[in-house]
Chains A and B, each alone.
Chain A
Amino acid sequence: MTTATTPVRTAAKPSAPAVSARKHRPGRRKRLELALLLGPALLLFTGFVLVPIGIAAYYSVFNWKGFGPLDDFVGFKNYADAFGGKVFQSAIVHNLIIAGLSIVVQLPLSIGLALLLNRKLRGRAVLRALVFAPYVLSEAITAVIWALMLQPNGFADQTLRGAGLGGLVHNWLADPGIVLYTMFAVITWKYVGFGIILLLAGLQGVPAELREAAALDGASAWQTTRHVVLPLLGPTIRIWIFLSVIGSLQLFDVVWIMTQGGPANASTTMATYLIDHGFKRYEFGFGSAVAVILFVICFVFALLYQRFALRRDTQGALTRMVG
């Protein structure tokens, strides 16, 4: 929240007050610069983000099948229906479970692997490429591959049996009690590489001198990691949590392709519910209401998280006014 107090530009007449100089001389040019540089982006942002959100909000108060005029105004009925429906309630819970599991499982996993891959070891480059590979695959391909591997007596089952773990074989995609965790495993496989790369980048920012100093002071490897490296990774970890939670809330592709939200809605997420009801049933008004709910949840989370968790990390970077 620091505001630069020193005027950067020097006024033409040293005697003129800085304020009036700011007002007049650079004003027009600056406005032109702003319009030129910001204009196109602002236009696109308005046209493809703000306006659609507004339109979705408008549709969401109508009972509209996608055909014909918008003449059946129903107020907030669509919202009430969504929140009152068991399937949508469970969809929200599923999103929250995925988000929670991401933080509890994926984060430690990513940190552990990143620390490991940050050490000098043989074949490090190959290993790094390997863990990152799934992230490069498209979600559709990931989902199709895993759907094939997880089918009954498929690759996953046979591997487990081959390893003498036949007792662990389950109906990965067909058991309503398991399917959500199957989805989570696939997402983890896909996105853990992204976390690792992010954290590896963060680790490059930890000065070697600090570790050396800690070692000289007699700190063990664990103590160095815990009290020197991890705190310095804080900003990276907080950004990762942010991306991961937003991603979890909007989870769609993998679930839609692998299960379509089934069986018995056991893997439905807010986004699959949206598509299922908005498009497949021609209930565009209701679907828009769900889209708005999804948007508001993500937006509120993003704001709160920025305000309370990312505040220190972005301090200066986002709030400092230059010139």
Chain B
Amino acid sequence: MFVKRRITVLAALAAVVPLALAACSGGNDTPAQQPSGPVTLTWWHNGTTDPIKSIWEKVVADYHQAHGDVTIKAQPLQNEDFSTKVPLALQSAEPPDIYQSWGAGDLASQLTSGKVADITDFTKSWITQTTGKFGENWQVDGKQYGVPFEQHFVGFWYRKDLFQQAGITTPPKTMDELNAAVTQLKAKGIAPVSVGGKDRWPDAFYYNYFAVRECSIDVLKQSVKAVKLEDPCWTKAGQDLKNFLATQPFQTGFAGTPAQQGAGSSAGLVANGKAAMELQGDWEPGTMSSLTEDKQLDSNVGWFPFPSVAGGQGDPAAVLGGGDGFACTTRASKACADFLQYLGSEPVQTQLAAQGAGLPVNTVAAKSLKTDTLKAVYDYGTKAPYLQMYFDRAFPTAVGAALNDAVANMFAGQGTPEGIVAAVNQAAAGNK
């Protein structure tokens, strides 16, 4: 009954072999000969739903109109498929010319394929102006391999009506205030915080943020670079998480709750007034609006940054986040880079912002953001003294996954603060 599944996996592995062998012989660092004349670019993106789906369709049409010799062939893929399809594609003779990339550790892992193009020369004239410092997250060793089009910041989304019911007048600024708010909400029979524990990465947001508050910016930078957690602040972050979990702030059965699927998901619970807040990225309003009938949701939802932690070495204004971008492969990297410049330009960025698809990377588009709340998130994020990429993206893929697993185990009532640190260091050392 399950035989088919295994064979599929094996067949997929089989498909890689000849390609892998082909890849061994390739792998040159010099930019390949760029095709001249009309060029067709294949584009893998994860915009399978609106609003971004329509925006990308329009972008393809507009770009072809302005550049008659460039045709973009867009291929929307499910977000989850990227982790399996990109590695296979990068081993093949014809990888997509443009593919979705989240920068940092993942991108660095993909470089070893020899198919990802160094686009430093094609982007250096405009990248800083378009993406600011944020674009550096798509660099590896000072070379540009991709360009972001959206940035994301994580913080608490909360329901104003439920906070009011519980008598909470101002959003919590410190952990003590957050704990007090949890107590007040519980007293009113409201689930204080929802979290999508089934998906693990939402759990990791908590540990990530505690670490950002406990560790100094220098320690954060140095630890990510070395892929090694040595400073005691990493263990303290785990202890903070453990203490927070001990207050039982989450909804019933949170370890089995998905983050974004259905009204019973963590986002759905907040959207439908079944929970008061959730630590999530700026995509949350968009996710929530598709999970509820409530048309007044936007005005009922507020945002506050992750609270400060007493005694922490971290900057209380540092922000956790990440972004969406695209990387180019070698065949037509110049044409690809030009297209990415267009994605970062004012018309496209303004559309992304105005239609609520995400926070723009180009500052000129910020004024088009849909709601005041999103503008507040944007301001907080862009003014933050330091942006820490989500650790599961900042670290190499396997290490990031190990971190998420260790944190999720703690959410399920197992493991210790030391265990999280050990799990990361072990994975970094190549142990399973």
Contact = CB atoms under 8 A, between A and B. Distances in A.
A184 interface: no
Contact of B10 (A53, A171, A264): A53
B414 interface: yes
B17 A55 contact: yes
Given A82-B432, A250-B3, A68 B200 contact: no
A65 interface: yes
Interface string A6-49: 00000000000000000000000000000000000000000011
B422 interface: no
Nearest to B20: A70
B197 interface: yes
Interface stretch (B42-50, B204-212, B252-260): B252-260
A67 B109 contact: yes
A69 to B, nearest CB: 4
Contacts of A132: none
Interface residues of A, number: 66
Nearest to A71: B24
A84 B431 CA distance: 10
A249 to B, nearest CB: 8
Interface in B88-141: 88, 90-91, 109-114
A264 B13 contact: no
Nearest to A172: B256
Interface in A225-274: 243, 246-247, 250-253, 259-260, 262-266, 271, 274
Interface in B394-411: 397-398, 401-402, 405, 408-409, 411
B245 interface: no
Contacts of A63: 430
A252 B91 CA distance: 27
Sort A-B residue pairs by CB-CB distance and give the 7 closest, nearest first.
A173-B256, A174-B256, A52-B10, A264-B412, A250-B2, A263-B255, A263-B412
Interface of B: 1-3, 5-7, 9-11, 13-14, 16-17, 20, 23-24, 27, 83-84, 87-88, 90-91, 109-114, 197-200, 251-258, 262, 264, 397-398, 401-402, 405, 408-409, 411-415, 430-432
24 contacts: A52-B7, A52-B14, A55-B10, A66-B87, A147-B258, A151-B256, A151-B257, A152-B252, A171-B256, A174-B197, A174-B254, A174-B256, A174-B257, A179-B256, A252-B5, A253-B5, A262-B255, A262-B412, A263-B197, A263-B408, A264-B414, A264-B415, A271-B5, A284-B13
